[in-house]
Chains A and B, each alone.
Chain A
Amino acid sequence: MSGDATRESEAETREHGDATREPREDPRSAALGTEGLSKHFGGVVAVDDVNLTVPRGEMRAIIGPNGAGKTTLFNVVTNALEPTAGSVYLDGEEITAVSQERRPHIGLARSFQSNELFAELTVLENVRIVVQTASAGPFAFDLLGDGRAVHEDEAREILDHVGLRAHADTEARNLSHGDQRRLGIAMAIATEPSVLLLDEPTSGMGPGESRETVELIQSVQEEMGLTVLMIEHDMEIVLSVSDRITVLNQGEVLATGTPEAIQGDETVQEAYLGGMREEL
């Protein structure tokens, strides 16, 4: 980001004092939109009236303290959890009623915070099964032929892409933590998404590995023209890669804006970044 732009946004912040309260955009106009999305667990409100509008091709970071509802937001957006209220839009179409297993087939994919893998299967087979599913649909009576050979080439290509080629025949559970994170991303990519939700893709990685993973995500995003929502704790990564940042606190959207605007936002600083002011 150039110095000019930073100064500009700082000026803007000073002018309006509250630059991150952007006017509500139409969630139907974006790659991914939510309207009044809420999730209650009994009396606990985990996601509270969230309105998101993520334009096509944007890299959106979702940040917030632990328990802010970030992962729950992903779970509600993907329908892993049924929302208590609100709507979800994908490319202008309302998909609130579309089942979880249908969503990857219409372009909405996710990775997990924990390493969710087909642990005892090979790395190749992990990806291959996803490619097979993407091609055959949520259910198919594919009873002929050797399953392990179906879409094997496509799966290998994806492994090449994410740098796991050498581990194709390794059981997923025997991969290093970082490679397991990468495999998670590879599987999400294998669904050929238009919108990709990544839940802490670099968690548990060293600085070098984190950088590689972020570069991988950026290159994939560019190539596939993806819209990416990424939950991330590492502020350095967040500030350097995201187009815009959404700050969640206690299930609510506290602010949304460019990295510069978020850094300058007083509400965010008070509620969340307080202790990190020096860091920023």
Chain B
Amino acid sequence: MSRETASDGLVERVAAVDLGVLQVPIGLLAVAVLLRPVIAHDLVLGYPQIASSILIWMLIVASFNVLMGYTGLLSFGHAMFMGIGTYSVAIGLSSFEVPFVLAAPVGILISGTIAYLIGRLIAHKGEIYFAMLTLAFAKSAHFLANYDPGGLTGGTTGLADNTLPAWIETSRGFTYVTLGGGRLEWYWFVAGAFVVGMLLMWQLVRSPFGRTLVAIRENETLARAMGVDVRRYKVWAFTFASAFAAFGGVLLEVNNQGATLSELSIITSGDIIIMAVLGGANYFFGPLAGTFVWMFVEEYLADFHTLVLPLTEVPLVTVEVSGLLVYWQFFLGLLFVIAVLISPREGIFGLFKTVGERLVGRVRGERE
């Protein structure tokens, strides 16, 4: 009896905690700190290598959501702005011996500048035309990198030689950052960059500037009639989102040890859209959830050849599933379709939030 009361009290207390303004920073820290140990656990993946990739992609997909979720702009070319960051660093290191600390900010600046110029050109176009034009620009960038102008981009093979900064060390499948004699695992470097980048994005969307973006998403006609220069806000949202994508792209260069054409591909842009929508474009953490599910499922199922039922220890039935699971994208695609049909802006995060709130509501209701 007393134990029951205690546990109810705990649930109620957890449910009643209002972290206020700290909610998002704490959530981001938790993601950064917990992601690796969780997926490295034997019951999950059993190895941690993919964790840094997931964090970087979370950052990139979240930057896309500044456009889609907060401003209501659908871009089919977000990978291009990420890829500009990746290629800037790769080209800088391999062709010009520019140090990473210089190449990275320059890459972000180039990405932002190109986004600003393209934004000035197309931000006032209607939804469909804007989407089509971003697609066209992304195609051109892919073509250009494939063409290998001046031997800079490496064409179809991309850039792999001499693309790592001097302070990166790899040994036994792990990457380390060596700074001032100390040695830090690459994951923790990424985790730090992730938290900083995400916090900056969060401030962007919660600021008065960000609230105006939301107003534009909600009703462009009304925003304009109330005195909002919709076009300029869209141009700058596009610029900021692209700069953040390039920030992710820069990290990706080190993480993947070079640049490949797929980083500029419109397929990658499509994956980014799917991850954002799957996770829930309405939420700041939605893209993070979507990225995690998408990448985790890909990795998990890649190793999944035989299904042993009911338990590995008690093999009664063994099913060969590798033939089926190579179609993992098909199944996730199906999940995506269902998510969009049910509620296009809620996604996985929205679903869990709703379920969570109902449970909390029930607990509270029972107590009263």
A binds B: yes
Across the interface, do B203 and A110 meet the contact criterion of CB distance under 8 Å?
no
Residues of B contacting A150 with CB < 8 Å? Answer: 208, 211
A35 to B311, CA, bound (A): 84
Q: Which of B185-214 contact A (CB under 8 A)?
A: 203-204, 206-212, 214
A139 to B230, CA, bound (A): 8
| Interface core residue of A109, A137, A138 (most chain B CB under 10 Å) | A138
A141 to B226, CA, bound (A): 18
CB nearest to B205 among chain A residues: A147
Across the interface, do A100 and B206 meet the contact criterion of CB distance under 8 Å?
no
Across the interface, do A146 and B219 meet the contact criterion of CB distance under 8 Å?
no
Determine how close the nearest CB of chain A comes to the CB of B42; give it in whole angstroms.
43
Residues of A contacting B360 with CB < 8 Å? Answer: none
Across the interface, do B218 and A138 meet the contact criterion of CB distance under 8 Å?
no
A100 to B207, CA, bound (A): 25
CB < 8 Å A-B pair total: 101
Residues of A contacting B219 with CB < 8 Å? Answer: 116-119
Residues of B contacting A110 with CB < 8 Å? Answer: 225
Q: A101-B224, A105-B227, A139-B233 are in contact. Are A129 and B206 (CB under 8 A)?
A: no
Interface membership of B21, Cβ < 8 A: yes
Determine how close the nearest CB of chain A comes to the CB of B124; give it in whole angstroms.
12
CB nearest to B213 among chain A residues: A147
Interface membership of A144, Cβ < 8 A: yes
A119 to B221, CA, bound (A): 13
Determine how close the nearest CB of chain A comes to the CB of B220; give it in whole angstroms.
10
Across the interface, do B212 and A101 meet the contact criterion of CB distance under 8 Å?
no
Residues of A contacting B148 with CB < 8 Å? Answer: none
Overall SS of chain A's interface: loop
Across the interface, do B225 and A116 meet the contact criterion of CB distance under 8 Å?
yes
Across the interface, do A138 and B208 meet the contact criterion of CB distance under 8 Å?
no
Q: Scan A175-218; emit 1 where CB is below 8 A from any B CB, else 0.
A: 00000000000010011000000000000000000000000000
A187 to B212, CA, bound (A): 14
Residues of A contacting B223 with CB < 8 Å? Answer: 118
Interface membership of A271, Cβ < 8 A: no
Across the interface, do A101 and B228 meet the contact criterion of CB distance under 8 Å?
yes
Across the interface, do A138 and B227 meet the contact criterion of CB distance under 8 Å?
yes
- Of the candidates A102, A105, A148, A187, the one whose C-beta lies within 8 Å of that of B211 is A148
| Interface core residue of A80, A118, A119, A137 (most chain B CB under 10 Å) | A118
Q: A125-B211, A148-B206, A148-B211 are in contact. Are A118 and B225 (CB under 8 A)?
A: no
Task: Give the A-binding residues of B (Cβ under 8 A).
Answer: 21, 203-204, 206-212, 214-215, 218-219, 221-230, 232-233, 236
A101-B224, A102-B227, A148-B206 are known; give 20 further A-B pairs, CB within 8 A.
Answer: A80-B225, A100-B225, A101-B229, A104-B226, A104-B227, A116-B222, A118-B214, A118-B218, A119-B218, A121-B214, A125-B211, A128-B211, A129-B211, A138-B227, A139-B228, A139-B232, A141-B236, A146-B21, A146-B207, A147-B209
8 CB contacts below 8 A, A to B, read A112-B221, A128-B211, A136-B208, A139-B233, A145-B208, A147-B206, A147-B210, A147-B212
